Amino acid sequence: MTFTADIKEELARVSPSRRCCRLAELSALLHLEGVLHLSGPHRLTLHTESENAAVARKIFTYLKDLFGISVELRVEKAARLRGHNCYCLYMNDGERTVQILNELGLIDNSLRPVLGVPVRISRRFCCGIAYLRGAFLGGGYVSRPDQPAHMEINFQHAEMAEGLTELMARYSLQPHLTHREGHIVLYGKSRGEQVDFLALCGAHKAVLHLESAAVFRDIREKVNRRVNSETANLERAIGAAQNQLRDIRLIESGTGLEALPPSLREIAEVRMLHPEASMKELGDYTDPPLSKSAAYHRLLRIHSIASKLG
C-alpha cells in the first residue's frame, strides 16, 4: 500500500463528534470525489468513485448517520485507474438527494452546483479543519517519507482553489497553485508544510512516521558528510606523499641523499620506508621524534631543494 493510501486509511478513521464537522468533511469529500448528473427538475444523481475502500466506507457511513439513507455501493474496475478496483457510491434522483446535496452546500437553491468551498459549511474553526481533511481524502497525495517532500490536492474548479487557499490560510498554511492536465493542483514542497497539514487533519501516525524518517535522514547525511571529508583528507595525504617521494628520488638521482643535511636525510629515508605514513607517523619514526609540523617543514625544505634540481 502506498504512503498516501496509509494516510487516507488513518484519516478515514478520524471521526469528529460534532455534526457540523461531519457535514463539512462529507461536503468536501463529495465535492472532490463525486460527479453530479442533472437530468431534469429534481432529477439529480450523484456518483462517487474512490480508489480507497476506507474513504468509500466513510462516505457511506456519514450518509447513513447524518441523513439516514443507505446508498448503493458497487466495486467496479475503473478505466481511469488502469483497471484497478474502485469503490462507487450511487445516490439516486429524488427530492431527498436534492435536499441532502443542498444541505451539504453542493448545490444551491436553484439546483446549480456550488463550485467553491461553501462558506456556511466551513465557517466554524472546527469545520474548516474537517473540510480540509475531507478535501485531502478526496484528492490528496503525499510523497513517501524517503522521497523529496511533496504534497498536493487535485480538483477541477478555480473557485475551489480560491476557497481552499483561503481556508488553509486560516490555519497558517500557504499552499502554491499550479495547473496540470486540466486539473488545478494545490501543493506544498516542504516537509514542514506536509507535517503541519497532516497534523491539523489528525494524521498523527503519519506525522510521526515523517518525523522519524527526517531524523534518520539527518543522521545518515551527517555520517556521509563525515565519511566524505575523511576520504578527501586521505586522498590529499596520499597525493602529498607521492609528491614527496618524487622530490626525494629526484635528489637521490641528482646529488644523492648524502648531500642533504642529516635532519633532512633522516626524514627522506623515513618517508621512503613508509610511503603511506601520515605526517604524525613520520614524526614518530624519526629519532628523536618530531612534531607533525616539524616533519612537514623538513619535507618542505626537501621540496625546495628538489625544485632547484628539477
Binding residues for Zn ion (CB under 5 A): 18, 20-21, 124, 126-127
Where is 184: in which H helix or E strand?
strand 183-188
- Cα gap 196→7, rounded to integer Å: 14
User: Between 44 and 168, whose beta carbon lies closer to Zn ion?
Assistant: 168
User: Between 21 and 107, whose beta carbon lies closer to Zn ion?
Assistant: 21
C-alpha cell at 186: 494545490
Task: Please report how close the Cβ of residue 4 comes to Zn ion at its closest, in angstroms.
Answer: 25
User: Between 18 and 37, whose beta carbon lies closer to Zn ion?
Assistant: 18
Please, is 136 exposed, middle or buried when counting C-beta atoms within 10 Å of its C-beta (0-12, 13-18, 19+)? Answer: buried
Task: Please report how close the Cβ of residue 201 comes to Zn ion at its closest, in angstroms.
Answer: 14
User: Between 19 and 297, whose beta carbon lies closer to Zn ion?
Assistant: 19
Task: Please report how close the Cβ of residue 25 comes to Zn ion at its closest, in angstroms.
Answer: 9
Name residue 59's beta-bridge partners. Answer: none
User: Between 21 and 100, whose beta carbon lies closer to Zn ion?
Assistant: 21
Task: Please report how close the Cβ of residue 22 comes to Zn ion at its closest, in angstroms.
Answer: 8
Task: Please report how close the Cβ of residue 44 comes to Zn ion at its closest, in angstroms.
Answer: 26
- Cα gap 135→131, rounded to integer Å: 6
User: Between 20 and 38, whose beta carbon lies closer to Zn ion?
Assistant: 20
Task: Please report how close the Cβ of residue 20 comes to Zn ion at its closest, in angstroms.
Answer: 3
Helices 53-67, 3-13: crossing angle, 10 deg rounding:
20
Cβ-based neighbours of 147, under 8 Å, separated by 6 or more: none
User: Between 120 and 222, whose beta carbon lies closer to Zn ion?
Assistant: 120
Helices 292-309, 204-254: crossing angle, 10 deg rounding:
50
Task: Please report how close the Cβ of residue 207 comes to Zn ion at its closest, in angstroms.
Answer: 22
Residue 114 is given by DSSP the state: P
- Cα gap 124→65, rounded to integer Å: 21
Closest C-alpha among 170, 162, 33, 51 to residue 91: 33
- Cα gap 135→11, rounded to integer Å: 11
